[in-house]
Amino acid sequence: MQSPYQLVAKDNFLLKNVRLETGFEYDREEVIRTKTDLFCIEIEDGKIKSVQPNDAKANAIDAKGKLMLPAFRDMHIHLDKTLYGLPWQALSPKRRTVKDMIAYEQEIIPELLKTSIERTEELINLLQNYGTNFARTHFNIDPTSGLKSLENLEKALENKKDSFKAELVAFPQHGVYYTKSAPLMKEAARLKSVGFIGGLDPLSIDGSIEKVMDFTVQLALDHGKGIDIHLHETGESGMKTIYYLIEKAIENPQLQGKTFVSHAFALAYLNQKEADETAEKLAAAKVGIASSVPFRGKIMPIPTLKKHGVNVLIGNDNVQDYWSTFGSGNMLQKANLIAELYGFESEWELSRTLEFATQNILPLNEKGERQWPKPGDSANIILVNASCSAEAVSRMSNVEALMNEGNLFWKD
């Protein structure tokens, strides 16, 4: 798949006829409309230099009245393993457990690694088509892959460096001890390019919460990394793992704000009182939750987590691969699904829901005051066919242009 965009400008330039949100229109206390106006946006050295009144006659790149929004960020994805770019393949009913999938991966990874650079780039192209310029990507660390998944991922990211950036999570998909992955994890943790130490269902895969979590936490502490573990386990073991990480973050303040539980499906089984109590503890320890949407029939307490100040990150997770056939790569679709799942239908609620695609960056604050863009902000931007954020979320509006650190790419 060829890149959906063409580079049209970089370094220092001016955009005119850029639509920005300027405030809310009210009927008494109810937000009934989002107000917008046209502006000129000056870009310099990868940042927004100025936001000026519009000058339609300026010698500048014409944004044609498109709405400018923050570029999207996919905060849980596996760029290193995908079937995207290969012939269609649905899931097999024979593989029902994580251990089934581990055995399957051990069979297919050697062949997939031969083309993983090209397929990773194709998947990045798909994400960019929908306005994403940044991802937190997990990559396999296991005896079958060795460090080859990481090496190929880094080559693909280098090829896309002008338009896409990523932070990397060393992910022991085959368990830390279930397969002999601990030495490889130690090797990966020493690498500067790796930002997070991952993990996977410590009790059901490796037989011990404490042993695996202690290994993971110590590795993160020794090398100044964050933590982001996959936790599909529910019930007692799932909650025990979450609380164990909370305790470790409280004991080690350097982990606070850098520790995440991905999926955390155990939270979906809590009653409201339990969800409130757990959310309070997660927020106090600054432990975040990274999740995909939807959740295989279970509704995660995302509004409760947000109410208590938990950092909730959203991602596509698997995009048309051998783990799931449903991932689209579209972060705006994820925001749309969240709005539908939780009944966010009003202008104000829909405008707030955009934060799940941009990861907490919104053009207007809760009072309707413009807080983005402003001079000094990184020039990570998209232009969409929408009148406002609420419409973009509701209609999953098309993205026409993407800017990554001041490099402007436009669709044909």
Q: What mean pLDDT is reported for the chain? A: 95
Rounded Cα–Cα distance for residues 163 and 156 (Å): 12
Return phi, psi of residue 77, to 5°. Answer: -150, 160
d(CA 41, CA 52): 6
Share of the chain above pLDDT 90, in %: 87
The verdict on whether omega for the bond into residue 202 sits within 30 degrees of 0, i.e. cis, is no
Summarize pLDDT for 154-186 with one digit per residue, the tens.
999 999 999 999 999 999 999 999 999 999 999
Give the pLDDT score at 95.
Answer: 73
Nearest to 155 by CA among 146, 142, 166: 166
Taken in order of first residue, the domains within the chain and their CATH numbers are 5-70+363-411 (2.30.40.10), 73-342 (3.20.20.140)
The answer to whether 6 and 409 have CB atoms below 8 angstroms apart is yes
137-150 pLDDT, tens per residue? 999 999 999 999 99
* Mean pLDDT to the nearest integer, 77-104: 83
Side-chain half-sphere CA neighbours of 175 within 13 A: 21
At 351, the pLDDT band (50, 70, 90 cuts) reads very high
- pLDDT tens digits for 198-208? 999 999 999 99
Give the pLDDT score at 298: 77
pLDDT digits over 246-290, tens only?
Answer: 999 999 999 999 999 999 999 999 999 999 999 999 999 999 999
Of 312-326, 330-344, 364-378, 394-408, the one with minimum mean pLDDT is: 312-326
Lookup result for tokens 């022991």: 172
Judge whether residue 1 has pLDDT over 70.
no
Band (pLDDT 50/70/90 cuts) for residue 294 is low
Tens digit of pLDDT for each residue in 56-70?
999 999 999 999 999
